[in-house]
Amino acid sequence: MRWYTTSLGKKFIMGITGLLMVVFVLAHMLGNLSTFGGANGLNAYAEHLRVFPPGLWAFRGLMALAFVVHIITGVLLYLENRAARPVPYANKKNDRTTFSALTMVWTGILLGIFVLIHLLQFTLHAFNAEWAHLVDAMGRFDVFTMVSAGLSNPLWAAFYIGAVVVLLLHLLHGIQSFFQSLGLTNENTFCSINLGGKFVAFVLAVGFVLIPLTIFFGIVK
């Protein structure tokens, strides 16, 4: 028996790749808060990230791997789960589960699409080629001007706020699921882990949503 082909093995894979991405998202959110330091804050932060290119690329590789494996395993699980009940109930009441738990595959797919658009916009400058040449007074790549230009547009601001709501839904179930799937819960910790996971999801959502809100309403200039 190969553990990774079993139902439990796939849960481990979902949990570990999910955790990698949650840690990244947490770091990304904290890094984004440097926007509140104005152009100097965000541009200096962005410059630091690029100090050691091999490290940056190794990190990007790890994230891409986690992203792809998480999506493939998630879709496999979804298809297997659908096949496990070929005839649906005419009448079924749920008691414990939540909207966020029942929509994991859909919020996951939406987040996958969001990540691709987000990379196209701010990393590859696919929608505004001129952004690639932005330079600030200190000769650094001017991330702040780029982000301000993007998020001043109400449609892009709404798009990012919408994405944060989807992320919140995904993580409300996802973070506590990691602990359960990896066997890290017991009778005593189950409730606290469940609440803790939801708390972290809310903290992440608030941290992220502050950026488009403050830029759009001109609080951060």
Partner 1 sequence: MSGSAHGNMNLTLHVWRQKDAKDKGRLEQYEAKGISPDMSFLEMLDVVNEDLIKKGKDPIVFDHDCREGICGMCSQMINGIAHGPDTDITACQLHMRKFKDGDAIFIEPWRAKAFPVLKDLMVDRGALDRIIQSYGYTSAKTGGVPDGNAILISKENADLSMDAAACIGCGACVASCPNASAMLFVSAKVSHLGLLPQGEVEAARRVRAMVEAMDAEGFGNCTNHYECEATCPKGIKATFISRMNRELMKTIPCPPREVKAGGGA
Residues lying near partner 1 in the complex (CB under 8 A): 1, 3, 6-12, 77, 80-81, 83-97, 101-102, 104, 173, 176-177, 179-187, 190
* CA–CA gap between residue 2 and residue 6 (Å, rounded): 7
* DSSP reduced 3-state for 135: strand
* CA–CA gap between residue 41 and residue 36 (Å, rounded): 7
Contact criterion met (CB below 8 Å) for 34 and 44: yes
Instruction: State the minimum distance, in angstroms, from the CB of residue 170 to partner 1.
Output: 13
Nearer to partner 1, 101 or 109 (CB): 101
> For 110, what's the count of Cα atoms within 13 Å in the CB-facing half-sphere?
16
Sole residue written with tokens 């017991």: 186
Nearer to partner 1, 97 or 123 (CB): 97
- Backbone phi and psi for residue 135, each to the nearest 5 degrees, phi listed first: -135, 135
Instruction: State the minimum distance, in angstroms, from the CB of residue 85 to partner 1.
Output: 4
* CA–CA gap between residue 20 and residue 66 (Å, rounded): 7
Instruction: State the minimum distance, in angstroms, from the CB of residue 182 to partner 1.
Output: 6
Instruction: State the minimum distance, in angstroms, from the CB of residue 161 to partner 1.
Output: 27
Nearer to partner 1, 182 or 213 (CB): 182
Instruction: State the minimum distance, in angstroms, from the CB of residue 82 to partner 1.
Output: 8
* CA–CA gap between residue 52 and residue 94 (Å, rounded): 51
Nearer to partner 1, 35 or 177 (CB): 177
Nearer to partner 1, 60 or 80 (CB): 80
